Structure 1
């Protein structure tokens, strides 16, 4: 049943009042009047429905039909209609099911559904699923009687019960995470809206967030940071001097996009000016960050451009390799995440205004949009596309995101923004990692024919690698450097970015150092578009080995193949089992391409010896890009086909008179049917290295559905071999192919 909260039609427009937070005055301007329809909505009565919306849970209460949005041209325009239009349901391709958006209606919900912090990224995860289940059917949250009323604009006329089926409940939660409508300055409400001014940061609120985190949060936020094992320099924001950091000084860090070289940079570099003092003219983001630090009561700022000597190769190496200590050691990290930040400063601080916050006044009640979620706010920011900035946010204890809309605060246990004021958090909420990398990605949905909609399986390294590899680097030579901070904090030891897996696993074969490394060679390209489209493939980075993800520019991840669909995998999904009673593979590191010419000054180094020699390091020294792998090998041919109706055409291994069940994922863009080189490709024989077979999980598939044998495809190049792709096979498919034990060089 829809509830109509309206006033008599003779009601007149309210008299507007004044004052900084009063309904009639925002930014010193008198608010325009509402249209007749919006004047007739009794918002005061709606905002008193706290018990009713709490009992309605995720169904909410339908208030009134709004018809089509945006509304036809009005003269003068109605600010309430504009507010409705700005916050209307608009998930686009992210919506899991189709919604009829020809008409909309106003719907009221309990603020609890927003306070618990269900985001689009976590809604399909285990924690998010438990939160949704508790809100829909439990009592832990819904017994709270201090909830407030929030308003949202949903599709449909609102004359029936909101469809919150299992498929649509995620869309509902995602929409409520976006800009909903809240009243401003309601003393009795635990949650209410806050005004966001275009050219004025509410520094009092920012200081409150940081102080609350420092005083009440757990060790991940408040542990005393480990200082870097070298002299760290910082900017004194009062004197603009560049000084060595003292043990008792707190400092802020800056994460921003350098952008193209500026004229003042050339002048500075040419004159070799005093590196103990900040130049008079610096990037606007740095200048604004200095202003922010001073307004937050701080004094010291670290930024790589001036706190690392860019002319000293050794200093750059030392500090780049310990970015984990620099960013985790900062009291907070200031993130310049505006859409034009490569050329300008922090939005709202000085010369760059924030976007207008949609708002309207009804009677003495000012209603505002709570503005987009942080992920949507970052959609048009250059910052979220850059490789270096990914580890800067992941490694930080606390982050302040300066976006085109507002400032967002995030730490390991809490998230805040200027537009939403929560005076007292829900007691029942459990701390979780709010600084989740899924919030800082521009990845699209995977191709339906290859990747499932299932929530990502938990494996921190895979998650970080996928998101990092989706970003861009100005210099491809930084492929590992821009990730070293995360590698240093990883639970895995790595070599050229490849982890040695199963450090906490007791499975017998998982103790073999060679297999621990070989299983991690199963990274694959992640196709976000048509799998045969060139833009979906990777581009070779010649400065890095082809067997490492660092050797390729583009998005990569770890997956397992089941039936006809790829699923993002957990580390334990790669656990190996014995393969046809064949001895496991062996791996050596060598500085020579040719395995038949070993000189005393270039010995073969068994991989497990390298691992044990440097077992005190998380990142092994990158001695050589060349490996020798002794393993079972195949000589295979490939076919080009569409296996099932509706599937895009792809390449498969030829097995007797048929094809492999799983398609090949090539790194290189392969010529399509009818293009030059396509037939030559099908006529060629390829080398396949059988690296391991995953342990069969009876809970996930029957033995005959177990596609668990990982084969690395290589091609000869200049006395060695280069990775070109990979494929997963079944045991039956392997029996139809000829195998031979060989030692293969790969670089």
Structure 2
């Protein structure tokens, strides 16, 4: 049995924990990249400087403009009512009322503001959806977009952009008992049964694009059906508040393990097994469009290409081509 303070389960407490974890990761985690200000993606959502701003704007970055930004990983859940297109881009730049955006995006905006970060990248709003040239260019850059983000918000509990992830998904099974310390001091103690839980059935972990988004992000705040958890190179799936859940997450290969794969680069067998493990996991996921099979993993392939100093050829590696084709 674990003792839990009820106030630890409040969103105010969780938001404070998010900011504290981000600060500690930047200052104390030697194995994690520093929180710097990379070049901004082509477009980002500008959330404004005020926490009470009721509008956001699509911001077109100027060359060499730098800044911290958050990336969102989520399930579209079908056709989107709000996207950036050649006909809507001007209105997006002029301003978007917060009460008009879908719930998942609105929740992501709230989390980003609580982290003290001004910019947010979301594919449906930062890529011109009906411009083929823009989609090709931005999809080719998605690996870098997630890799260079300050943190990625992973909305794993939602099946569509309209659901949101800051609402309580399940009731907390907590037993409350009175606690008396002396005649003048009393309170309440809370007990919960420690339990195991797997994220394998979360919708986001069945999506092909989300695999690359998770692997390449240096830091992830994961919102699942139980409670928010933190993940970075140094801390794997740590609850943001004290809890009683023993997490079992499906994501074993991360960018941290890609860096670790340097030790496999001296012999082909190790590299082949590592790549096969990754492809097996990726291939078990769903993609809405068949033609996305290679683009949705191209960012990961680019990282391996740099680490292994090898040529990537449509899912295979030049130095190991005969073995992989067999």
Normalization by structure 2: what TM-score? 0.76
**CA offsets per residue over residues 694-747 of structure 1, 9 Å max, x none?**
xxxxxxxxxxxxxxxxxxxxxxxxxxxxxxxxxxxxxxxxxxxxxxxxxxxxxx
* Partner in structure 2 of residue 249 of structure 1: 67
Deviation of 1:210 (Å): 1.0
> Which of 119, 131, 150 is the matching residue for 1:300?
119
Q: Which residue of structure 2 aligns with residue 517 of structure 1?
A: 321
Judging changes above 3 Å, is the alpha-carbon distance between structure 1 residues 435 and 302 closer, same or farther for their aligned structure 2 residues? farther
Displacement of 1:194:
7.6
Match of 1:215 in 2: 27
Alignment of 1:309-708 (within 5 A): 309-346=128-165, 348=166, 352-364=167-179, 365-369=189-193, 372-373=196-197, 376=198, 378-415=199-236, 416-420=238-242, 437-438=251-252, 459-490=273-304, 491=308, 492-501=310-319, 516-522=320-326
C-alpha separation in 2, matches of 1:316 and 1:465? 24
Report the Cα offset of residue 286 of structure 1: 1.1
Aligned-residue offset at 1:371: 5.8
1:385 and 1:398 mapped to 2: Cα distance? 20
- The Cα RMSD (Å) is 3.1
Once the two structures are superposed, residues 294-341 of structure 1 have per-residue CA deviations (whole angstroms, 9 ceiling, x without a partner) of 112111101111112223322222221222211011000001111444
For 1:223 and 1:363, locate their aligned partners in 2 and report how far apart those are by CA, in whole Å: 44
| 1:335/1:400 contact within 8 Å kept | yes
Q: 1:477-520: per-residue Cα shift (whole Å, max 9, x none)?
A: 1110111111111134211111224xxxxxxxxxxxxxx31112
CA distance in 1, matches of 2:34, 2:168: 33
- Compared with structure 1, are the counterparts of its residues 372 and 225 closer, same or farther at alpha carbon in structure 2 (3 Å cutoff)? farther
User: 2:323 & 2:139 partners in 1: Cα distance?
Assistant: 28
Unaligned runs of 5+ in 2: 49-54, 180-188, 255-269
Q: Is the 8 A contact 1:194 1:419 kept in 2?
A: no
* Higher helix proportion (structure 1 or 2): 2
Question: 1:359, 1:368 within 8 Å by CA — same for their partners in 2?
Answer: yes
Q: Distance in 1 between matches of 2:215 and 2:158?
A: 20
Three-state SS of the structure 2 residue aligned to 1:240 is strand
Q: Residue 272 and residue 232 in structure 1: after superposition, are their counterparts in 2 closer, same or farther (change >3 A)?
A: closer
Q: Which has the higher contact order (CA 8 A, sep 6+)?
A: 2
Residue of structure 1 equivalent to 2:3? 183
Q: Is the 8 A contact 2:78 2:160 kept in 1?
A: no
Q: Is the 8 A contact 1:253 1:327 kept in 2?
A: yes
* CA displacement at 1:224 relative to structure 2: 4.6
Matched, 1:233 2:43: yes
Cα distance in 2 between the residues matched to 1:372 and 1:341: 26
Residues in 2 aligned to 1:297 and 1:223: alpha-carbon distance in whole angstroms: 13
Q: Residues 371 and 405 of structure 1 are in contact (CA less than 8 Å); yes or no, is this contact kept in structure 2?
A: no
> Structure 1 regions of 5+ residues with no counterpart?
1-180, 186-192, 422-433, 441-456, 502-515, 523-747
1:468 is displaced (CA, Å) by: 0.8
Give the SS at the match of 1:208: helix
Contact map agreement 1:225 1:328 (CA 8 A) in 2:
no
Cα distance in 2 for partners of 1:269, 1:310 equals 5
Q: Aligned pair 1:202/2:14, yes or no? A: yes
With the length of structure 1 as denominator, give the TM-score of the two structures.
0.35
CA distance in 2, matches of 1:339, 1:242: 24
Alpha-carbon contact 1:498-1:520 (below 8 Å) kept: yes
Counterpart-to-counterpart distance in 1, 2:313 and 2:37:
27
1:273 to 1:299, Cα distance in 2 relative to 1, 3 A: closer
Residue 273 of structure 1 deviates from its aligned partner by 5.1
Give me the whole-angstrom Cα distance separating, in 1, the residues matched to 2:195 and 2:8.
11
CA 1:270 to 1:311, structure 2 compared with 1: closer, same or farther past 3 Å? closer
